[in-house]
Amino acid sequence: NDEIRSKDEALYRRKKTIGSTCQIFYEKDPFMVSQASMQYLYDENGTKYLDCISNVQHVGHCHPKVVAAISKQLATSTCNVRFVSHKLTDCAEEILKTLPGLDTVLFCNSGSEANDLALRLARDYTQHKDAIVVDQYAFQVLNLNNPEKLEKAGQVYADMVKDVIEKAEQNGRKIAAFFTEALQSCGGQVLPPPGYLKLVAEYVRSHGGLMVIDEVQTGFGRVGSKYWAHQLSEDDFIPDIVTMGKPMGNGFPVSAVVTTKKIADKLGGSVGYFNTYGGNPVACSAALSVMNVIKEENLLDHSQKMGELFHEQLNELKKNHDCIGDIRGVGLFWGIDLVKDRETREPDQELALQLILKLRKERSILLNADGPYTNILKIKPPLCFNADDVKNTVTALDETLKEMNK
Ligand code: PMP
C-alpha cells in the first residue's frame, strides 16, 4: 500500500509544494489516513480510530454500495451534462422527492460553487444586488432553557434582519437574497429559535428578496427525523433556493442548487448555465447511490435514534462537568460548548484543544472543535455511527474530563 510511507516525508513534501494557508487537522501532529471504512479511519501505522469528524462520508467511509456504483459508472462513461443521461434526471428526481414545492435542479461540484450559483440566480431573478448572511455569533445568547424567552427569540432575531433590510434600502440598496443554514454548523452547532425562518422569509420576500437555505452540512438526513434541517421545526416553510453538497457524494465531489423553474429560467449571461463536471454521470451515480443507501438502511430513523441517545448521555455528562456550558444538537449533529465558567459562559478554547488531543492519543477517537472561539466540540460522524459508538464517545469524554479535573 503506497499510502503507508513515512508521514514525515509526506509532511516535508507538503510543506514544499502545497500552499501554506491550506488548512490541516491536528496542526501540531497531522493525521495521515492510510485507509478508511464505515465509521473508522486508520492512521499510517494501521491504528484504527473512531471518526466523529467526517460528515462528508455520510453513509460510511468507502461504503461498498457507493464504491460499486461509482466504479461501475467510471467504467461506463464520464461525459459532461451537455450529453443526455438518465443518471442526471434520475438523480434530480430523487432529490426533488425530498423537497416539496421545488421543481428544478442545477448540479455543481462543491458547496461553494452551489452557493455562488444561488447568489447569481437570486440576483438575476430579483434584479437586486445585496445578500444578507447570518453572523457566526448569532443566537449564541439564546437561553434555551427558558421557553418564554425562546418563544420571543424568533421575533427578536427576525427583527434584526428587518432592520438590516430597511437600513440598506435607506441607502438605496436592495436585497437579492438572505442566506442561512437552517442549523448553524461552523457557527457552533446552533439551532435557530422557533418561528425564526418563517418570520425572516416574510420580511425578505416582502422586500423582493429570496430565501436561500444552505444545507451543505445539514442535509440528507443528518438531523434525523427529516431529510433537511429546514424541515425540522417548520414543516410548511419552503425556501426559494436550497444548496447542498458535502454528504451528497459520500466523498465524491458533487453538489446542487434546487429551486423553482420560475427562478432558474431567469439565469442570465450569454452562455446560460454551463459547468464541465457538474452533474456528470459518475457524480450522479454517487449521489443516487447515497440516497438509495439512506433509504435501504433507514438512516433517518437511525440518525434520529442516535440523536436521542446523545441527547440523554451528553446531558448526563453536563451534570458531572462544570466546564460544559451547553449541549446542543439533533440527529448525528452535536455540539459541546466548553467554558471556563458556566455563568459567564467564557469560552475555553484551550480545554477543547487538550481534549481533542487526549481523545486521539489515549482513546483513538477523532473529534474536532468549531464556533467563533473554537471551543465547541463537534460530533458529526458518518451516519452508520451506532449505539456503542455513542456510549464509547461519551464515556471517553467523561473519563478524560475527570482525569483533567474538569
Ligand atoms: N456551506 C457550508 C455550510 C459549509 O460548511 C461549507 C464547507 N465547510 C460550504 C458551504 C462550502 O463547501 P465546499 O467546501 O464544498 O466548497
Q: Which domains does the chain have, with CATH numbers?
A: 1-53 (no CATH), 64-296 (3.40.640.10), 298-346 (no CATH)
- Ligand 1 pocket: which of 57, 109, 112 to mutate (most atoms <8 Å of CB)? 112
Backbone angles phi, psi at 261, to 5 degrees: -60, -40
347: cell is 469560552
Please say whether the beta carbons of 387 and 62 come within 8 A: no
Residue 87 is given by DSSP the state H
Closest CA to 189 of 370, 335, 314, 52: 335
Element holding 161 (H helix, E strand): helix 147-170
Q: What is the pLDDT of residue 271?
A: 84
Q: Compute CA 332 distance to the chain's CA centroid, rounded to the nearest angstrom.
A: 11
Centroid of ligand 1 to alpha carbon of 185 (angstroms) = 10
Residue nearest (by alpha carbon) to ligand 1 atom 5 = 217
Strands, DSSP E only, in 101-153? 104-108, 130-133
For residue 363, give Cα distances in angstroms to 129, 215, 391: 50, 32, 13
- C-alpha 247 – ligand 1 centre gap (Å): 11
Nearest residue (by CA) to ligand 1, atom 6, is 111
Give me the sign of the Cα torsion angle 95, 99, 105, 107: negative
Q: Which atom of ligand 1 is nearest to the CA of 255?
A: 15
Atom of ligand 1 nearest to the CA of 110: 15
CA 170 from centre of chain: 35
Helix (H, G, I), strand (E, B) or coil at 208: coil
Averaged confidence pLDDT in the chain: 93
- Asked if 332 and 222 touch (Cβ cutoff 8 Å), the reply is yes
Q: What share of the chain is helix, strand, coil (3-state, %, to 5)?
A: 40, 20, 40
CA terminus-to-terminus distance, the chain: 42
Ligand 1 geometric centre to CA of 110 (Å) = 7
Ligand 1 center to 380 CA (angstroms): 14
Ligand 1 atom at shortest distance from the alpha carbon of 253: 15
Q: What is the DSSP string of 220-258?
A: TTTTSSSSSGGGSS-TT---SEEEE-GGGGBTB--EEEE
Residue 371 pLDDT = 86
Q: What is the pLDDT at residue 142?
A: 55
> Quick one: which H or E segment has residue 272?
none
Answer yes or no: are the C-beta atoms of 357 and 334 closer than 8 Å.
no
Q: Give the model's pLDDT for residue 148.
A: 67
- What does the pLDDT read at residue 81? 87
User: Rounded to whole angstroms, how far apart are CA atoms 148 and 340?
Assistant: 27
Ligand 1 atom closest to Cα of residue 218: 3
> Which residues lie below 8 Å from residue 231, measured CB to CB, with a gap of 6+?
237
Q: Whose CA is nearest to atom 1 of ligand 1?
A: 216
* AA identity, residue 179: F
Ligand 1 centroid vs 293 CA: distance in angstroms? 23
Q: Is the ipTM of this complex over 0.90?
A: yes
Residue among 216, 244, 255 whose CB has most ligand 1 atoms within 8 A, to mutate? 216
Neighbours of 158 (CB within 10 A): 22
Which has more confidence, 254 or 138? 254
Cβ neighbors of 405 (< 8 A, separation 6 or more) are none
pLDDT tens profile 272-300: 899 999 999 999 999 999 999 999 999 99
Q: Compute, in angstroms, the gap from residue 190 CA to the centroid of ligand 1.
A: 16
As a whole number of angstroms, the distance between CA 13 and CA 5 comes to 12
Q: Decide if pLDDT at 341 tops 70.
A: yes
Q: How far apart are CA 70 and CA 67, in angstroms?
A: 5
**pLDDT at residue 184, rounded to an integer:** 83
Report the pLDDT value the prediction gives residue 337, as an integer from 0 to 100: 94
Distance (Å, rounded) from C-alpha 377 to C-alpha 348? 11
**Ligand 1 site, CB within 6 A:** 110-112, 115, 181, 185-186, 214, 216-217, 245
Give the separation between CA 218 and CA 393, rounded to whole angstroms.
21
Question: How far, rounded to the nearest angstrom, does the alpha carbon of residue 314 sit from its chain's CA centroid?
Answer: 21
Q: Which pTM was predicted?
A: 0.95
Hey, what's the cell of 220?
Answer: 440528507
* pLDDT, tens digit (0-9, with 9 covering 90-100), for 259-269: 999 999 999 98
DSSP-assigned beta bridge partners for residue 130: 175
252 C-alpha to ligand 1 centroid (Å): 14
